[in-house]
Structure 1
Amino acid sequence: MIDDDILTAARNLIEKCTQQGEMIATAESCTGGLITGALTAVDGSSSVVDCGFVTYSNEAKHSLVGVSQDVLAEHGAVSQQVAKAMCEGALQRAPNATIAVSVTGIAGPGGGSALKPVGLVHFGCAGKGRPTRLYHEVFSGDRHAVRKATILHAFAMINDMLSD
């Protein structure tokens, strides 16, 4: 059900978070909960995963993680500004999380445009007492490939924050 390389990355992240006493929250749009699902597929994840917000719609982004309607209207759901608001909102709303990651993008096959092509994903990673990190990437391939690459990159962002 979950690719072996995703499970391996999830296991490594769970181990590192356990060793460092960190807890994760997610705010996911284009992955629809797959980041949280991959993490919770690993034994011992309950000591590391606090909660996951699946914020597929703009209304969910606003009501669940506090993305402002103005930011959504001005920049669109797939934007750096929304990714930042999503991870910071998830960190604020998660009861025990010390790190939150967010993803918002266009997994395809439709929905892209010249300015926001299929495969574009914006990431945010916020941590208690740490500066928020933002990144974006345009991944290639079909919907599965884009979502898989997104999950792996989200794990890498959390790992990078843990390494600082």
Structure 2
Amino acid sequence: MSAHVIAVSRDACHNFSKQVVSVIDIVAGLGVAGDAHSGVTVKHRSRIKVDPSQPNLRQVHLIHSELFDELSARGFLVRPGDLGENITTSGIDLLSLPRGAILRIGGSVRLQVTGLRNPCAQIDNFQSGLLAAVLDRGTDGTLIRKSGIMAIALDGGPVRSGNAIAVEFPGLPFLPLERV
């Protein structure tokens, strides 16, 4: 199955979950129009406290729907938008993408992958035990964050369910994703 968008979500307030909508508009350099995390500088509350002038590397949040299946097998019910993502995907291993990869979505949108979403304790307020379920350990003991990736908007346009997703890889060497 080819990579595609399952659902799109946004929320103008800093709520944990976002509302699923029929279409989101990506604005180059800002992110999702009408979303609380849209902007050139950081919008995440904890990052604003540290330095409000930091560049916003978290303009668009993407989660793979395959995570929802994994969580369902562990007794959790998670649907698109529930974990605060803007774009829910299928058929693409988001977590294995290198930093700097470009995601082409629909006819005009280009998002550049900046890193991993670092899940916070708020996720347990949504469903108790969910934080532990979206974290894992590699065979070498390294922490694996499974709650999606973050990106910046290079080129804008509409994104809706069903849009195809293509990946353009950066030049070698590939840099692994780190939390942003």
TM-score strictly above 0.5: no
Larger proportion of strand: 2
Bigger CA radius of gyration: 2
Q: Which has the higher contact order (CA 8 A, sep 6+)?
A: 2
TM-score, normalised to structure 2's length?
0.28
